[in-house]
Amino acid sequence: MREIEHVIAGKLVGGKADRYGEVLDPNTGATQARVPLAGEARVDEAVQAAKDAFPSWSKTNPQKRARVLFEFKRLLELNIQELAQLLSAEHGKVIADSIGDIQRGIDVVEFACGIPHLQKGEYTQDAGPGIDVYSMRKPLGVVAGITPFNFPAMIPCWMFSVAVACGNTFVLKPSEKDPTVPVRLVELFLEAGGPPGVLNCVHGDKVAVDRLLTHPDVKAVSFVGSSDIAQYVYATGTAHGKRVQAMGGAKNHGVILPDCNMEQTVNDVIGAAFGSAGERCMALPVVVAVGKETADRFVEKALVEAQNLRVGISTDGDAHYGPVVSAAHRQKIESYIQMGIDEGATLKLDGRGFKLQGNEEGFFIGPTLFDDVKPEMVSYQEEIFGPVLQVVRVNTLEEAAELATTHQYGNGAAIFTSSGKAAREFADQVEVGMVGVNVPIPVPVAYHTFGGWKRSAFGDVNQHGPEGVRFWTKIKTVTQRWPDGEVSDQAFVIPTME
């Protein structure tokens, strides 16, 4: 059986693991590889490799670091089809969606190529008599990223491309469910001219995560995953003196007003709710329809569109989405469907028990649609992370905005309307981190920043964009004077710029 390896100090490292995880093919349910789960010693080895590489890499001028990233970007584009095939084979998302995953990662690499400008500090001449002040953004040292299964290309690139561009060295701990693409990313970075040890990949579970969170040489940790684990990562990492950004779960709301373009809205919502089998933190699993007529029109049209969705294997070019990542996750999604029924929501379309001919053991689940969902229902309050769309009915825009604002998660929200006034007010007042106006999945472009509010994010600094540069650097400010030989009599007085 194929064994996936760590990448440490520029070399593939395998074997000698006490524990292994299974890498499954979600299309068939079969085990396709095994992945070593690192113990503390293996994590320490990766951290030491990064520590050894830091002095040289941090002193490499930003133009040279950018050239490595430019070449890395070129190699990602050259190998995008191969990467997409690998990604779909382990995650289950369709090839087109995998290409989108990788392209979004490439976009952040492209942003990081601008590091000579992005990392510049500030300068003030003659801030005082003969005194100049300037600042520098310095790398932190060895840093780490802990990434989820649902975006095994994009989210690692969000983290390490900006981090290493700033002069840090990096230890990546990807999901053990689909680890092959992260390994290939590191290999391509090395091929692009990245020095050994600058970017390392070590596989593992909680043992590896805890070691990264407590290791004295790791200065910062970035995490994306569920909210409970994000909160744990933030609390543990900060307790050990680390800078931490931890992105958690979501329950994004799509508010539909009576004046929306209903045909376009239904099309957008169906794609946002069921694309990638709903396994996106920026999926749109809740529609809040304002007014009975609006809700009735939406449910009628959405039901037809959902029934016509094609669920297929990840290599089926005609499939709208593929299997979910594991049998356990499918079971969890189906338990939430049963919960919704038990809580009194109206089940309009049931995706449980879906079997794909020829792939009966695959982890497939059909599209599911609920109407008459109430805010007090647990199935509404919690993240399902699957192809399940819930419709909540309200009477006013204010009620709709209040639902998104008071929900425990605050990743994103969208509004569908022809009213600029309504959209502007909603975008200003709703308490979430990212808002879409007639845009169902408002993931910002790479040169802006990604991040939610409330239990969707722990820490004060967002992913990628200018916020990413700030997270992966610390600022040093220098105040300088070149005396002309005269002796000041102010030595015992706090200096001022007068």
Active site residues: 281
3-state helix, strand, coil split of the chain in percent (to 5) is 40, 25, 40
Instruction: Retrieve residue 203's tokens.
Output: 């596989």
Instruction: Retrieve residue 4's tokens.
Output: 């996936």
CB 154 within 8 A of CB 175: no
CA 55/CA 30 separation, integer angstroms: 44
CB 115 within 8 A of CB 135: no
CA 136/CA 138 separation, integer angstroms: 6
CA 417/CA 414 separation, integer angstroms: 10
Can you count the helices (H) and strands (E) in the chain?
16, 23
| Neighbouring-strand partners of residue 138 | 474
Instruction: Transcribe 208-273 into DSSP letters.
Output: HHHHHHH-TTEEEEEEES-HHHHHHHHHHHHHTT-EEEEE-----EEEE-TTS-HHHHHHHHHHHH
CB 233 within 8 A of CB 246: yes
Written in H, E and C, the secondary structure of 130-179 is CEEEEEEEEECCEEEEECCCCCCCHHHHHHHHHHHHCCCEEEEECCCCCC
Instruction: Retrieve residue 154's tokens.
Output: 């994009």
Count how many Cα atoms sit within 13 Å of the Cα of residue 84 in the half-sphere of its side chain: 20
Sign of CA dihedral 359, 361, 362, 367: positive
CA 433/CA 449 separation, integer angstroms: 10
